[in-house]
Structure 1
Amino acid sequence: MKNLFSICLITWSLCACSVKTEKGLINIFIEKTTPQTEFAVNNIESLYGLKNIKQVKELEAADIIVKVDTSSQLKPEGYSISGKDRIVITGKDGTGAMYGILDVAEQISFGKKPDEIEEKVVIPYQRNRFIKFNLPWNSYRNGEALSLHMETCRDTVFWHDFLDMMAMNRFNVLSLWNLHPFEDMIKPEKYPEASSLSDEELAERKKFYTTIFRMAKERGVQTYIVNWNIFVSKKFAEAHNIADYNKTGGFWGDADNSELIEDYTRECIRQLINDYPDLTGLGITLGERMGGMTSTERRDWINRTVIKGMSMADRKVKLLYRAPLSAGKTSHGTTDKTTEMVTREVLDTLTIPEETMISFKYNWSHGHSSDKLFIVHGGKLTDTYWNPAPHNYSVLWTIRNEDFFTHRWAKPDFVRNFLKNNMKRYTSGCIIGSECYLPAKDYFTKSDIINKPFKYAFERQWLWYSIWGRLLYDDKTEDKLFADQLNRKFDIKNGEKLLETWKLASDYYHRFASFYMGTWDATIYSEAFTALLPDKVANTRKANIITMAGMGNRPVLDTTKYINIQDYVLNPDRDTEQIVSPVELANIMYKNAEKVLEAIPEFDGNQALNMEVTDLELLAYLQKFFAERILATLVLADKIVLKKELDKERIDKHLKLSIDYWKKITELKGKYNKKVVLYLFNADLDYNNYLEVLAEERKNVDGIDTFYEHDLR
């Protein structure tokens, strides 16, 4: 560390003959330009609103000197900042130098003078900082909530802004996902009948992807294409009368693993790599359309197609090898040690990829449930993948967010605890993103909002991206950074208090999803207090508000912290000091809510601030609502579980309060957002409609005589 600072200080002393510059103007000199440093310098004004930092060609005129030193002791993408009278930014590579420039610019945007810039050495904490982005065409799931993004996601202006956000937040991998990406990107030379695109259309698509990959590279962002495997284009299926499921859609079921499809897949992989030289890697899924195949057969199919296709290409690329989603022949999520051993055997011996990573869904589809790992897709993991520690691959955690799309989140301590608990020497990073939500077109905000302060959906969750990206890059990042970002964004001075309030409001998501266990996407949707529950009338399941019958015997996810309502009623006096009882959880939610509501008046400001603070107020009432639902269900449990007479007065008090709170939630949601927000598992999800469900439940509470036995598959 001392040697590193010595190098920087020597560089500074050699250049100490700085000349006076125009007052207020900050001159920056790039010793050797890279695409990444050029991006940073050219976009300081658009990214941080600074007009006083200008690039100069003369070293003597520089207030800031930027250099790339590949021989330094820094790690790839790392940087140092040293000096006072003259700032020296040293990057290990172009991306590190870019981050250093962005860091200095950000500090100046917070109001610091050049001689107040913090000296530091930044060593990247996790080298793979992925964003998962599902493409709306040929999508895994179907519905208007996805298809409405088509135009936005075909616009390179959107990707320009999204990639800017990634660079500012230190994300370094953009992964694009759909069922069969090849038909949108290439016309297979060996199988031209697979393409539905004219030559002109194909040229336009190639230009589109090439532009995205180039812009990403300029911002230090790698690009991956991730697919689900045994799919072909509809045209190819029709031409050869194979794989009928490709003609009608649908991702579950048995696979068509004929030799023709294997050869087609190999050729697509080979050509994709060759046609897109800026594409960094590929991702595969041992999952849905591999029904009827054993774990060994799925592994062997990947080897004969994807891995073989990679070996046939003109260059090496990286590989994201998603862990098998099923240990059996079905598409249902299951895990077992034999499947893990079969997969590890492949990973330990793979030599074709430039780098190999295996990813697991952290706590399945609900990565913000707990900072401790309890399940992955399919169930519990053994330590097979990391005991002994791997040398040929690393582990990535996929942090899926299926819990908040409309409303905001900010809790840096959750991410810090997650990193402390789960990042080991065999891990190399995380993938963050959603399956049922695309952060492209803003389809939430009411159309009559004048001077809306953002354009795209991802900008609603700007602080979520900032917290995850910055902490994955530098786990020593302090809350002060996020508070300063709040101060700058909203032109306020109490960003620290706002962040603390935001943390308390966001606590709802973590406690709810730890207490009310979810597995796959629709099993819970936290911000709407919704789950996929049985419809006794239609004998189907539909996402709806969680009733007392649905809550009473729901398993908890975090068994080290919580106990469910039925088990608590059966044994309220057990000796488990570390367990938070349902009653205690309700009290915690009430205390959080009161603190948030007490602080809300301090943050009255411009429309941009009010739109976000309204979410904090809503989350406070959601905590109160959650608390009353717990307390009401406890009263009902005395009747159902202990066979006591129902205390009608007591339960009615809790149910009435919960309805009052839901009315307030509905009112706050409608202040800036549309009445009906599209959700894949309930196309007419309207908070107002839930009032009818709650009123019906209250009216007929005497008739509730059982709790659901939950099927979480």
Structure 2
Amino acid sequence: MFYVYGSMAEEQPVQFAAGKVREWLEGSNSGGDLSVSLEEDRRCPEEGYRLRRENGGFRIAASDRAGMMYGLLDLGRALANADGRAECVKDRSVTPYIRKRGIKFNIPLDARTPSYSDASDSAFETIPDVWNFEFWQEYLDAMAEYHYNVLSLWSLSPFPSMVRIPEYPLTALEDVMRSVIIPQPEMSGWKMYTEDMKKGLYPVKKMSMDEKMDFWKRVMACAADRCIEVYLFTWNLFVYGTEESPYALTSDQHNPVTKDYVYHAVRAMLETYPLLAGIGVTAGEYMAGDGTDIAFIRDTYGRAVEDCLKCHPGRKIRFIHRMQYAAFHEIEEKFRDFPGRFEISFKYSQAHMHSSVKPQFFPDFIKEHDTETRFWFTLRDDDYYMFRWGDTDFAREYLRNMPVSRITGFCLGADGFTWGRDYMDRIDQTHPLYIRKMWYKMWLWGQLSYDINCEEEFFAGELERVYGTEGKRLSAVWKKASRIISTFHLVHWHDYDFQWYPEMCCSLEHPPVRKLEFADINEFMACGSMPKGGCISVKEFAECLLVEGQTVNVVTPLQIAQIMKQYSEFVLKEVALLEKGCKMGCGLYRLLMDMRALAYLGTYYSDKLKAAVHLCVWRIDPERYQEKEAAVGLLRDCAGHWKMYSSFIKQYYKPQRFARLCSYVDPEYFDRWAELDIQLAENQ
């Protein structure tokens, strides 16, 4: 048995952690009882802990219940990985590397009050889930297990679904609704809920507003019992869900009724939910842009938080203003006198965190802005909706390169896919949480941002325990598979998610038209490399090749192609060995199939990148006909590579409608476009 006693032993987070440890140790060969003495020690850092072996058991010292919970969880994993042998567990002391470690969840509350991701299959399927308390219990347990302590809920217009506003009571929506009509929104978030959708509404759950408010109070209390703070973020300015109210509300910041409504809506949220710990805002993507946007935010959201703090002087509320659609100097000017905690949110790697381990967007920004304001980083993962990712080396280096002295924390998540349950998998019909399916990725980022010095053996041991195969070997293969897309992004870069989705080699052409496009050979030639990512683009490299004696002192597209090919070949070889004797459909099998898919994709990108170099050289100098022939030959190979990839992944994943691509994406639909690359090379 596993016993816990002493300071804070009866606290909910500690009880949760002790239960997880007992679960992990079931079936281990510990050979007897294990006890842990808990000691409250105010010298320990906030949420940190000190672990020592003592008299055949352990002592954990911490200054708060969060530190005690994390100490128990880390001890439990170490014991489980050592088959319960206490003598194998090392003493350790941990100070959190990053204080606030958050998940960004674009929450689909109701068809009438959408989030930014709601024009997608994942959001449609998730609406009933977010009104299921068991969903949130499982979600928050997973977050705590992975060492996240912030859940940020993002919505265009959350208020009608979450709160009764005393000054605007008729905006409160009863029941939870979906629509049979698919949203066809603009990129700004406008037209996310329309008249035709209203005609197609149907209820998925009957709930009064009182029941809804009780529900979210329970969710926030559950979060608090896992040492997790809940924040609410909005895009502006949207009044979805108020269309049937009599108040003449519009998405116009110059409408005085709308301004009053937003102020009272935020104030009502804060008064209704005393555990709501933060408000985040965006001055877009549907505001006037006439110089009054930040002033509006300050006089509605900011004033509501300020007035709440005046009424509740002991309360702590964090106010986070995003940089999107806003000038930094104007934000600082308008919020200079703000009395509470005020911070700025910045997209650290734009929409593609799986790229450089040392992105230069924030360093470039901070050089131009001398400020003491603290920041939050949005870590946008719009690269992996399907495939499991796992690279401890990448995560560790990425986090080590962060300017942690300048930041309070981060929020990790996507805009184009809802991180609820996984409804894309054809094989696993249990619909696990996305963060459970992607458990290793989520745990890596949470664990390492909490304890940057966590040893590699800790992760390899967990892989071995979970998958029943040699952990170090599996980790080595998974790292290579996970580096294919991040390596490619160094030479093929787009800032935004709709401009590039790597798992499907496609983008949304917008503006001036809005259509789904396969990234053809012309796009591969024209695309720039990641700014200050250490690589030269295809076009720049082709021009260098035509200058006699020209040397290139950065990484070239051909070198990137070779690296991707080596990764892909290594992964395919190792997967073939690892899957021998592996039961079809088991967790290891599904992981290996994701790795195989990434290797197929890497082979395609490698050869297509080489073809782009050859074809670009020929188009600059048509006398080099052999370059064209080389490109055509490679593109013939690529057509086969893509068909292998598309047919393979369609066995495991359903085609989906993705929010930021505004389209239904089917990999086999692109088979024809992969063939047409040959025509583009031969005939242009």
TM superposition score normalised by structure 2: 0.87
Name 2:103's counterpart in structure 1.
131
Of 182, 202, 210, which residue of structure 2 is paired with 1:203? 210
Give 2:51's aligned residue.
81
1:283 alignment partner in structure 2: 280
**Residue 259 (1) aligns with residue 239 (2):** no
Structure 1 residue aligned with 2:201: none
* Contact kept? 2:29, 2:85, Cα under 8 Å: no
Structure 1 residue 578, shift from structure 2 partner: 4.4
Please state if 1:214 is matched with 2:187: no
Which one of the candidate residues 672, 678, 698 is aligned to 2:652?
A: 672
Shift in Å, 1:534: 7.5
CA 1:347–1:471 in structure 2 vs 1: closer, same or farther (change >3 Å)? farther
Specify the code of the residue in structure 2 equivalent to 1:302.
I
Task: Say if 1:45 and 1:51, in contact at 8 Å, map to a contact too.
Answer: no
**Residue aligned with 2:398, SS:** helix
* 1:355-434 alignment, distance < 5 Å: 355-375=341-361, 381-385=365-369, 387-388=370-371, 390=372, 393-434=373-414
Cα distance, 1:513 vs structure 2: 2.0
| Aligned mate of 1:168, from 135, 145, 149 | 145
- Deviation of 1:491 after TM superposition, in Å, equals 1.7
Q: 1:115 aligns with which of 87, 106, 111?
A: 87
In structure 1, the residue matched to 2:179 is none
In structure 1, the residue matched to 2:681 is 701
Structure 2: runs of 5+ lacking an equivalent: 176-205
Partner SS state of residue 166, structure 1: helix
- What does residue 583 of structure 1 align with? 558
Q: Aligned partner of 2:675: which letter?
A: A
Alignment partners' CA distance in 1, 2:639 and 2:34: 63
Maintained 8 Å contact 1:175/1:225: yes
Q: How far apart, in 2, do the equivalents of 1:105 and 1:420 lie?
A: 26
Q: How does 1:569-648 map to 2 (within 5 A)?
A: 569-572=542-545, 578-604=553-579, 605-606=582-583, 607-644=586-623, 646-647=625-626
- What secondary structure, in the 3-state scheme, does the structure 2 residue paired with 1:280 have? strand
Whether contact under 8 Å (1:28, 1:65) holds in the other structure is: yes
Distance (Å, rounded) in 2 between the aligned partners of 1:118 and 1:453:
37
CA distance in 1: counterparts of 2:276 and 2:253, whole angstroms: 28
- For structure 1, which runs of at least 5 residues remain unmatched after alignment? 1-24, 55-60, 246-254, 328-338, 705-713
Give CA deviations for 1:476-512 in whole Å, capped at 9, x if unaligned.
Answer: 11222221121111122x1111111111111112122
Match of 1:499 among 463, 475, 479: 475
Correspondent of 1:478 among 446, 452, 455: 455
Distance 2:2 2:604 in 1: 52
Please give the residue correspondences for 1:182-331 in structure 2 after superposition, counting only pairs within 5 Å: 182-197=159-174, 201-235=208-242, 238-243=245-250, 245=251, 255-294=252-291, 297-313=292-308, 314-315=311-312, 316-327=315-326
Q: Is the alpha carbon distance of 1:558 and 1:49 closer, same or farther for their aligned partners in structure 2, counting shifts above 3 Å? A: farther
SS at match of 1:97: helix
The aligned runs of 1:143-154 (5 Å cut-off) are 143-145=119-121, 146-154=123-131
Distance 1:577 1:636 in 2: 19
Is residue 2:157 matched to residue 1:180?
yes
Determine the C-alpha separation between the residues in 2 that align with 1:689 and 1:576.
41
The change in CA–CA distance for 1:269 and 1:404 in structure 2 (over 3 A counts) is: same
Contact 1:636/1:646 (<8 A) preserved:
no
For residue 506 of structure 1, what is the amino acid of its counterpart? S
Write out per-residue CA displacement over residues 615-671 of structure 1, whole angstroms, 9 at most, x where no aligned residue: 111111211111111121122212322233544542232012111211221233133
* 2:190 alignment counterpart: none
Cα 1:273–1:242 change in 2 (3 A) is closer
Write the letter of the residue equivalent to 2:107.
L
CA shift, 1:326, in A, is: 2.3
Residue of structure 2 equivalent to 1:15: none
Moved more, 468-477 or 227-236: 227-236
Which structure carries more strand by proportion?
2
- Partner secondary structure for residue 438 of structure 2: helix
Structure 2 counterpart of 1:343: 331
Q: Which amino acid aligns with 1:239?
A: P
Find the residue that maps to 1:497 and give its secondary structure: helix
Q: Do the aligned partners of residues 684 and 298 (structure 1) sit closer, same or farther apart at CA in structure 2, a change above 3 Å counting?
A: closer
User: 1: distance between equivalents of 2:136 and 2:524?
Assistant: 41
Offset at 1:171? 0.5
What's the CA shift for 1:461? 1.2
| Secondary structure of 1:223's aligned partner | strand
Deviations 1:241-294 (A, max 9, x none): 341x5xxxxxxxxx3332222222221222211111222111111221222331
Q: SS of 2:383's equivalent?
A: coil
Cα distance between partner residues in 2 of 1:196 and 1:182: 9
Which residue is equivalent to 1:692?
672
User: What amino acid sits opposite 2:487 in the alignment?
Assistant: R
Deviation at 1:81, TM superposition (A): 0.7
1:67 counterpart = 2:39:
yes
Query: C-alpha displacement at 1:558, in angstroms?
Result: 3.7
TM-fit CA distance, 1:322: 2.9
* C-alpha distance in structure 2 between counterparts of 1:426 and 1:210, whole Å: 33
Q: How far apart are the structure 1 equivalents of 2:137 and 2:269?
A: 23
* Deviations 1:116-153 (CA, angstroms, capped at 9, x unpaired): 32211110111010100011132124423222211122
Query: Which amino acid letter does the alignment assign opposite residue 51 of structure 2?
Result: I
Q: Letter of the aligned partner of 2:432 in structure 1?
A: K
Cross-structure match for 1:456? 433
Aligned-partner SS, 2:530: coil
1:242/1:256 contact within 8 Å kept: no
Paired with 2:320 and 2:3, the residues of 1 have a C-alpha distance of 45
Match of 2:487 among 503, 511, 516: 511
Q: Which piece of structure 1 moves more, 624-633 or 679-688?
A: 679-688
Q: Which moved more, 1:565-574 or 1:686-695?
A: 565-574
**Counterparts of 1:576 and 1:76 in 2: how far apart (Å)?**
52
Q: Which amino acid aligns with 2:73?
A: L
Q: Report the counterpart of residue 196 of structure 2 in structure 1.
A: none
1:343-365 residue CA offsets vs partner (Å, 9 max, x unmatched): 233455421x2x33211012321
Name which of structure 1's ranges 365-374 and 613-622 shifts more when overlaid on structure 2. Answer: 365-374
Q: Is the 8 A contact 1:320 1:359 kept in 2?
A: no
Find the counterpart in structure 2 of residue 655 from structure 1.
Answer: 635
Superimposed CA distance per residue, residues 412-440 of structure 1 (whole angstroms, 9 cap, x where no aligned partner): 22222222322242212211000111122
* Residue equivalent to 1:438: 418
Other structure's SS at 1:293 match: coil
In the alignment, the residues of structure 1 paired with residue 143 and residue 134 of structure 2 have an alpha-carbon distance, to the nearest angstrom, of 14
Aligned length: 632
Distance 1:200 1:530, change over 3 A: closer
Q: 1:141 to 1:166 in 2, by over 3 A?
A: closer
AA at the equivalent of 1:622: L
What one-letter code is carried by the residue in structure 2 that aligns with 1:520? Y
The answer as to whether partners of 2:20 and 2:73 remain within 8 angstroms in 1 is: no
Q: Map Cα deviations across residues 183-237 of structure 1 (whole Å, 9 max, x no partner).
A: 1111111111222338961122112211211111111111111112333354367
CA contact (8 A) 1:373 1:422 kept: no
For the residues of structure 2 that align with 1:590 and 1:358, how far apart are their CA atoms?
40
Does residue 562 in structure 1 map to residue 535 in structure 2? Answer: yes
Q: CA RMSD in A?
A: 2.6
Q: Which residue matches 2:192?
A: none
